[in-house]
Chains A and B, each alone.
Chain A
Amino acid sequence: MTDLLVAEGLVRIYSARRGLLGKAAPVRAVDGISLCVRRGETLGIVGESGSGKSTLGRMLLGVDPLQGGEVRYAGTPMPPAGTAEWRRLRARMQMVYQDPLSALDRRLTIAAQIREPLDIHKIGDAAFRAARVDELMRAVGLRPDQAGRYPHELSGGQRQRVVIARALATGPDLLVCDEPVSALDVSIQAQVVNLLRNLQASAGLAMVFISHDLKVVRNLCDRVAVMYLGRVVEEGPAEDLFADPRHPYTRALISSVPEPGRPLDGRVILQGEPPNPAKRPPGCAFHPRCALATDICRGSVPQLRKAGPGRAAACHHFDGADAARAA
C-alpha cells in the first residue's frame, strides 16, 4: 500500500481579533502535525472540540492555508486553494460534512446536486451523468423516486447519504469525513457508518475519519491518531491502541467508552479545564490534567516516540519510566 497523502509539520495559526479595537491574539489551532494516509486505509482522528481536528481535516485537503509544513498528494505538493490546479484536484479528493443540510443547496434537487461534480469537471455527456447519478443513489441506498426531492424534504440520514453520493461522484481516491455522523440519531449513525465502510471496500477509497466518538472510530478505522490541543499525542493501529493505550489522555478517553454487558471499571476521570487553544499550557499541553505530571512535563514539550510496532506516543512517562533517563 503506497502513501497517498503525506502531511509534514502542519501548522495553522488563527489571529482572532476581537472587534475593531481588540488586540490580535494568535491561536495555534494545529501545532506541528505529521501523518500519512495510505491507499485504501482509514485513518481515524480523535479529539475533543478545541483539539483542532476539523482544522486539520481542511488543511489535509488544502482548503485551509498552512502557516507551516507541507501536504503532498500522490507525491506532488498540494496546490494553493483557489487555483485551477487545486480545483482539478478536487475530483480526486472530497469532503463529507458534519451538517448535511447546510452543505446542500436548498433550492436544487438532490439529483442535480449529486450530478454537480460531474458538471463541474465536465465528465461524460448528459446520458452518462444521468446514469451515474442513478448508480450513486442506489449505492448509498436512496430510492430512484427520491431524485426530485429537495434536501429539506429528506431526513438527516438521507441527506448525509446525498452528501456522500455527491462526494463519490467523480470517483475520488480520498475522502475526508468531518464528524459525518455526529448530527444523526444513534440508530442512523450505524447505518451510515456501515455504508461508508462498504463503499470504501468496494471503491478502494482512502478515508480520514474525524470524530470525537470513539465507538464509531473503533468500528471503522484501521489506524487512529489522537489529538490534543493541536498536536498528535498518540497514534497506532486501532485495535492495539484501543486495547492498550499508552498516553494518559488516550487512556482516559478509552476508559470512558462503555462496553455493552460490562459496567465501567477503571475509569480515569480528568481534572482541570477543557482544552482552550487560546491559553495553551507550557510544556506538555496535557500536564494540568494529567495524574502522571512531573516537572519535566511542565518544562518541555514531549515529542512523538516509538511505543511499539507502528505505534507512537508523545509523553515523557508512557512507558512507566522516566523517558529522559532512558534517552
Chain B
Amino acid sequence: MTLANPSDTATSAPLRRPLFARVPPAVAFGLFWLALVITCAAFADLIRPYDITRMDLGARLSPPGTPGHWLGTDELGRDVLSRLIQSVRVSLVIAFGATILSAVFGTTLGFLAAQFRGVVEHLVVMLADFQAALPFLIMSLAVLAFFGSSMLLLVCLMGFYGWERYARIARGLAISAGAQGYAAAVVQLGATPRRVYLHHILPNVASTLIVSMTLTFPEIILMESGLSFLGLGVQPPETSLGNMVGFGREYLTTAPWVMLAPAVVIMLTTLSISLVGDWLRDKLDPTIR
C-alpha cells in the first residue's frame, strides 16, 4: 500500500538499458576515433608501412598523396604516416601509464587521509598545496633539467600529474560514506571493513574516479606533447606526437603537413576523450538519467 510515485508509472522496462542504446553522433565519432587510435597503438609494428628511422633521401619533404607515402615525408625522407603511428603508440602508452599511476597514488592517499584523519590528513593536504604552488610544466622542466630525460623518468613524472584531484575525491567520498552514510550503515549490518571498501566505497568512488581519469588523460597527453615539443620530453630516436610537431616547426612554411598531421591527431584524440568521458559519466552514474 504505497503512494503512487511518478517514476513508478513512467516505465516498467528494465532500468539497465544496454550501454550503446542511444549514442549521440559526436560521441560516436569520439568512440570511433579512440578505437582507431588504440588499434594503432596496439598494432603499431604491424600496421606501420616503414620503419620510423628509415630515410628515403630521394623523396625528402614530399607532400601527402605521394605514392608510397600517404602523409608525405619529412626533411630526412622519413615517412610521416609511419612516424605518426609510432608516435601515437608512444604518447598513448606514456599517458595511460601516467594516468594509472596518478590515480592509484592519489586514491590511496585520499583513502589514507580519510581513514586516519589527523596528521596524515594534514600531510596530504600540504603535499597537495605544494603541488599547486608550481605549474606542473615548470616543475617538470626543473626535474628534467636536474635529472635528464629518460623514458622512465618521464612516465614517473607524468604520474604525479593530477593526483591531488583523485585524492580529494577519494577522501571526500570516503568520509561522507563513513560518517553518516551507507558505509556506516553497512558496518552496522555486520560487514567487515574489507567488504565495506570493496563492495561499497570503491564502486561508488570508481565512477567519479574514472571520470577524473578521462579528464586527466588528455591533459597528460597535452603536457607530454608540450614537453616533447620543447625538446625535453621524448628524445630521438623515439618519436612522440609533440616531438613531431617540434621537429616539423622548422618546415612550417615549406612543408606544413609534417607538423599538421601530428597536431590534428593530438586535437582529435583529446577532443574524443573529453566527449566520451562526459558521456561515460552520465552513463555510469545512476542518479543522473
Contacts and interface: CB of A to CB of B under 8 A. Distances in A.
Given A87-B191, A148-B15, A155 B5 contact: yes
A155 B3 contact: yes
Classify chain A's interface size.
Answer: 35 or more
Interface residues of B, number: 26
Interface of B: 1-3, 5, 7-8, 12, 14-15, 122, 180-182, 185-186, 188-192, 195, 200, 203-204, 286-287
A107 B286 contact: yes
A116 B186 CA distance: 9
Nearest to B12: A145
B286 A152 contact: yes
B180 to A, nearest CB: 6
27 contacts: A20-B122, A61-B188, A90-B189, A102-B181, A103-B182, A105-B182, A105-B186, A106-B287, A107-B203, A116-B186, A117-B189, A120-B189, A120-B191, A142-B2, A145-B12, A148-B14, A150-B286, A150-B287, A152-B287, A153-B7, A153-B15, A154-B5, A157-B3, A158-B2, A158-B5, A161-B2, A191-B1
Most buried by A among B1, B5, B122, B188: B188
5 closest residue pairs by CB, A with B: A90-B190, A87-B190, A103-B185, A105-B182, A102-B181
A188 B180 CA distance: 23
Interface stretch (A92-100, A223-231, A260-268, A314-322): A92-100
A102 B180 contact: yes
B172 to A, nearest CB: 14
Contact of B190 (A102, A103, A121, A191): A121
B115 to A, nearest CB: 13
Nearest to A106: B287
Interface string A60-77: 010100000000000000
Contacts of A7: none
A205 interface: no
A90 B188 contact: yes
Given A145-B12, A148-B15, A104 B287 contact: no
A143 interface: yes
A302 interface: no
